Structure 1
Amino acid sequence: MATIKDVAKRAGVSTSTVSHVLNKTRFVSEDISVRVMAAVEELNYAPSALARSLKVNHTRTFGMLVTTSTNPFFGEVVKGVERRCYEQGYNLILCNTEGDVERMRSNLDTLLQKRVDGLLLMCSEVEGRDFDLFTRHQPVPTVVMDWGPIGFPSDKIQDNSHHGGYLATRHLIEKGHTKIGCLTGPLDKLPAQQRLSGFAQAMEEAGLEINKQWIVSGSFECEGGEQAFNEIYERGPLPTALFVCNDMMAMGVINTAHKKGLSVPDDISIIGYDDIKLAKYITPSLTTIHQPKHRLGQQAVDTLLDKIQNKRASNKVIQLEPTLVERDSVKAI
């Protein structure tokens, strides 16, 4: 493999001149520039990104940890992150945690050893944890995306889940529903807690009874929706409407209801949360709460860049606001 010294020898110039030509850091005459670029092409020379990163003390690379999931929500956010990194001239190393704390620790250790310039964390495994990795390595600017309390310094981008839960329930109430249930995500996760609290606030403001028989927790996956709906079905008479705390669960609910001979929305209305792309293509198309997923990814990268470029030590929280998307899964009564 050719080195910068080989290029300099072929072009008859110094290595510093080759560096100036390639990096455009100083004026070099056109004749010399042509000779250098001809030598680069002849020798098929590729500058070492590693050597350059060691010299300038940054790698123009971000690391991202994300929980592996069938939920397209994560993929849509990652797409926003990757697009913004590309626009800003950064590379992205993506690591899946598989929901395993030890794998997450191993991935995090690897990213820090690779001297990434910053970290983006979108995995619930970080919630409430204080990692010794952050003391074993040089501090790295970090942004946590959409999760609960953490035990290390970080900026945070999050969805206003309480308001989203409130919006969903208010919509059902405005459509005339008074018998409303809530299928939540895992209640050890902050987003699920906040969406349930938004549901409770809307019910209380409307003077409606919260029937605990109609509140069931499940995983944030299709199977979680299936399991939660089966549980509520077995408890007796169903509500006329359900706020289901994410779209994947809602799709599991609609499928399970159909198998039981129930029609959505004629027999039971469903509203979801996230507004994943699939939501408008299922039957019936899903009324849901929109999270700005692409903007969440872009905002996370911009926040990380701001922290790096301005050497900002303070940690801030940026909250993105959800909105209602009306489709066909909620009936007015």
Structure 2
Amino acid sequence: MATIKDVAKHAGVSTSTVSHVLNQTRYVSEDITARVKKAVDELQYAPSALARSLKLKYTHTFGMLVTTSANPFFAEVVKGVERRCYEQGYNLLLCNTEGDLERLRFNIDMLLQKRVDGLLLMSDEIVSQNLDIFARHKAVPTVVMDCGKTHFPADKIQDNSYLGGYLATQYLIKKGHRKIGCITGPINKPMAEKRWAGYQKAMQDAGLIINPDWLVDGNFECEGGQQALDKMLSRGTLPSALFVCNDMMALGVINSASKHGISIPDDLSIIGYDDIKIARFFTPSLTTIHQPKFNLGRKAFDTLLDKIQSKRENDLEIKLEPTLIERDSVKQIG
């Protein structure tokens, strides 16, 4: 395998000149540039990415940490990040935590040891455990997505979940529903707490009573929605409508309702949250609150790249606004 010294000898120049030509770090005459490029082609020289990164002090690599990339919501965010990485010539190291705190710590240590240029974090465990991810490492530019307060410097990009919860509940009220329940996510997670708070505010503004029998917490997974509806059924009569705080749980609710002979939306109206890609293919298609997931990923990448290139020291907080997507899972009554 040819080395940079072989290229320099073949072209009749110094190794530093070869480096300047390949990295475009200094002006080199057209004649010498052509000789170097010809030598590179003839010797089939491939520069070492590792050696280049050590010399230039950057790796053109971002590390990304998510709870699970198998969940359609996270998968669509990751897709947005990956697309921008490809467009800008960056590599992406993706790690999943699966809600495991030790795995989270291990992955952060591994990414920082690999000298990533920046971090993209989308894992509630960082917030709920009050972690300082840079306690054992020098801080690197970091963007946190869809999480609450952090104990380390970071830009934050998040969905306005309070408004989303309000919009979802307000929509059910406008459709004539007065008996409205809520299946929340884990209430210790910031996004779940804000969506629940939006539901409460909409009910309060409409002068409606919140029945505790129609409130169940879930785990943001299909099984959680299924178990939540089963639990609600065991308490007695169902409400006429449910705000389910993410689409994955809404899918579980639809599945459980079918098993119990409950027709949606005739017997029970449902509105979800996230607008994952398969939401339109549910039966019935799911009315939901749209989060701009792909754009969230793109925005996170662009914000991180700006932080690195501008050497900006202040931390930004960016909110992406949710919108209502009306489909077939909510019935007009009254």
Calculate the TM-score normalised by the size of structure 2.
Answer: 0.96
Preserved contact between residue 7 and residue 45 of structure 2 (Cα < 8 Å) = yes
Preserved contact between residue 143 and residue 304 of structure 1 (Cα < 8 Å) = yes
In 2: Cα distance, 1:200 partner to 1:265 partner:
22
Preserved contact between residue 63 and residue 92 of structure 2 (Cα < 8 Å) = yes
Equivalent residue, structure 2, for 1:8: 8
Equivalent residue, structure 2, for 1:180: 180
Per-residue CA deviation, residues 53-92 of structure 1 (Å, 9 max, x unaligned), is: 1222111111001112542000000001111122222211
1:225-240 counterparts in 2 under 5 A? 225-240=225-240
Equivalent residue, structure 2, for 1:280: 280
Equivalent residue, structure 2, for 1:310: 310
Preserved contact between residue 243 and residue 272 of structure 2 (Cα < 8 Å) = yes
Preserved contact between residue 290 and residue 323 of structure 1 (Cα < 8 Å) = yes
Preserved contact between residue 129 and residue 150 of structure 1 (Cα < 8 Å) = no
The amino acid that maps onto 1:109 is D
Equivalent residue, structure 2, for 1:64: 64
The amino acid that maps onto 2:100 is D
Unpaired runs of at least 5, structure 1: none
Deviation at residue 309 of structure 1 after TM alignment: 1.8
User: What RMSD, in angstroms, separates the aligned Cα atoms of the two structures?
Assistant: 1.5
Equivalent residue, structure 1, for 2:48: 48
The amino acid that maps onto 2:264 is V
User: 2:5 aligns to what SS in structure 1?
Assistant: helix
Deviation at residue 196 of structure 1 after TM alignment: 0.8
Deviation at residue 234 of structure 1 after TM alignment: 1.0
More deviation, 11-20/54-63: 11-20
Preserved contact between residue 132 and residue 152 of structure 2 (Cα < 8 Å) = no
The amino acid that maps onto 1:119 is L
User: 1:216 aligns to what SS in structure 2?
Assistant: strand
Equivalent residue, structure 2, for 1:161: 161
Preserved contact between residue 122 and residue 144 of structure 1 (Cα < 8 Å) = yes
Preserved contact between residue 84 and residue 298 of structure 1 (Cα < 8 Å) = yes
More deviation, 85-94/27-36: 27-36
In 2: Cα distance, 1:285 partner to 1:177 partner:
19
Preserved contact between residue 128 and residue 150 of structure 1 (Cα < 8 Å) = no
Relative to structure 1, the CA distance from residue 70 to residue 116 in structure 2 (aligned partners, 3 Å threshold; closer, same or farther) is: closer
Deviation at residue 33 of structure 1 after TM alignment: 3.2
In 2: Cα distance, 1:198 partner to 1:308 partner:
35
1:150 aligns with 2:142: no
Preserved contact between residue 129 and residue 151 of structure 1 (Cα < 8 Å) = no
More deviation, 220-229/295-304: 295-304
Per-residue CA deviation, residues 156-211 of structure 1 (Å, 9 max, x unaligned), is: 11111110000000000000000110011111111111111101111111111110
1:29-178 counterparts in 2 under 5 A? 29-68=29-68, 70-131=70-131, 133-178=133-178
Relative to structure 1, the CA distance from residue 180 to residue 173 in structure 2 (aligned partners, 3 Å threshold; closer, same or farther) is: same
In 2: Cα distance, 1:254 partner to 1:212 partner:
21
Relative to structure 1, the CA distance from residue 307 to residue 96 in structure 2 (aligned partners, 3 Å threshold; closer, same or farther) is: same
More deviation, 77-86/33-42: 33-42
Relative to structure 1, the CA distance from residue 136 to residue 197 in structure 2 (aligned partners, 3 Å threshold; closer, same or farther) is: same
In 1: Cα distance, 2:302 partner to 2:61 partner:
14
The amino acid that maps onto 1:299 is K
Deviation at residue 315 of structure 1 after TM alignment: 1.8
In 2: Cα distance, 1:17 partner to 1:311 partner:
29
Q: Percent identity?
A: 71
Relative to structure 1, the CA distance from residue 209 to residue 130 in structure 2 (aligned partners, 3 Å threshold; closer, same or farther) is: closer
Deviation at residue 31 of structure 1 after TM alignment: 4.2
Preserved contact between residue 130 and residue 152 of structure 1 (Cα < 8 Å) = no
Preserved contact between residue 245 and residue 273 of structure 1 (Cα < 8 Å) = yes
Preserved contact between residue 128 and residue 188 of structure 2 (Cα < 8 Å) = no
In 2: Cα distance, 1:98 partner to 1:184 partner:
20
